Amino acid sequence: MFNTPSPGLPTTENDDWNLETLMANAGTPTPQTDDAEIDLSTEERFDEQTVGAAEKAEAIERLERQLQTVLEETRSLALKNSALEEQLRLSQERVALLSQKNETLQWENKTLQQEVGNFQMEKEMLQIQTQRWKRACENLQQIRPAISSQTLANASTRRFFESLVPDPKRVHTDSDKETPSPSSSPR
């Protein structure tokens, strides 16, 4: 591609505009550059780049250390979390076992209360029966002196009544069958 030059402006060999030529044609002196300034600015840029790179490297190292710390804390928290989950699982199992045990104990307690109730009823019935027997014995004790020897002539009837209310003064033996007792002798 060719650049078309304006009238009065020279061109370079490669058809690019030459700044020095343009300034000379315009009557403006060409600015002189100092090699020391160029070197200094280059060094400053290099130093800035070096400092920037060093700062970036330090920042990267800090971030890597922070990342390492975060990873270690994450691992530690993961281990603690696993331990807590295991404790939770064991606690849940224990709660389930205690719940089953509690249900069993409640059932046993209910059964024992029913048995206690049954024993209480039996005790009351036995107390009633005991009171009846006591009254019957007292009645027999009151009737016994009034029973004459003629009424007790029959030995089996006498033994029956004596077995119900034994005479505390008398000890029954096999010889009593043949010999009459003093209470059965005629008056």
Q: What is the pLDDT of residue 55?
A: 83
Domain boundaries defined on the chain: 19-145+154-169
**Residue environment code for 140-166, b if the CB has 16+ CB neighbours within 10 A, otherwise e:** eeeeeeeeeeeebeeeeebeeebeeee
Q: Are 10 and 25 in contact (CB under 8 A)?
A: yes
- pLDDT, tens digit, for every residue of 97-149? 999 999 999 999 999 999 999 999 999 999 999 999 999 888 877 776 666 55
User: Helix %, strand %, coil % for the chain, to 5?
Assistant: 75, 0, 25
Phi and psi torsions of 12, nearest 5° = -90, 175
Structure tokens at 181: 């007792």
Query: Running DSSP on this structure, what letter comes out for residue 10?
Result: -
- pLDDT, tens digit, for every residue of 154-182? 666 767 777 776 555 655 554 444 445 55
